[in-house]
Chains A and B, each alone.
Chain A
């Protein structure tokens, strides 16, 4: 069964460093998303991406964050200068069609630890 994959499973970085989290969505999916979950808190939406551009972003997704689909298979989330409060589990998701009516399939997550 097709699945969303994410690498690495755990990333440790120093405050101020740039990190790139990688995701491979399901191959025929057209919509891509990033969510995060700070330990003990809710899963929060960050951004959605369709047709090579951001279709919606939350107030969390500020100028420190960017997303890219550099080739036909990968979808990346970059944090330019990490802060302690960026420590969280980051989930990638994808859907075959418009999110209002199509299931979002989630990856296993990348745990980001900022020291």
Chain B
């Protein structure tokens, strides 16, 4: 079956530090890959996505590249801000099937200190 594995958290960084949150996946075929973010008290928001191998998704300074050879979709940001403190979820959608469901990773709590 499909699965997503994220690096264990929580992650605590100082402002302007470099961020990497690892995500690897298991899926048949060529799924679409997503990063969702959840700010305190809010719902899950799509941060970025990639729908095919070697695509790079980017938004708000965050980037992730769809690597089929390593089945990975690691999230990176060059310089984090306090406002980036949130929970980050990696997810996949298997396009080949009915594709309704998103399969999520465990979520990684990020705290950025001033």
Is B42 part of the contact surface with A, judged by Cβ < 8 Å?
Answer: yes
B76, chain A: closest CB distance, angstroms: 21
Q: How many residues of A contact B (CB 8 A)?
A: 28
Q: Are B98 and A108 in contact, with the CB atoms below 8 A?
A: no
Q: Are B43 and A109 in contact, with the CB atoms below 8 A?
A: yes
Q: Are A108 and B41 in contact, with the CB atoms below 8 A?
A: yes
Known contacts A33-B101, A42-B106, A99-B100, then 8 further A-B pairs from the complex at CB < 8 Å, ordered by chain A residue: A43-B44, A48-B101, A56-B100, A58-B101, A91-B43, A99-B93, A100-B99, A108-B42
Chain B interfacial positions (CB closer than 8 Å to A): 32, 36, 41-46, 49, 51, 89, 91, 93, 95, 98-107
Chain A interfacial positions (CB closer than 8 Å to B): 3-4, 6, 31, 33, 35, 41-45, 48, 55-56, 58, 91, 93, 98-101, 103-109
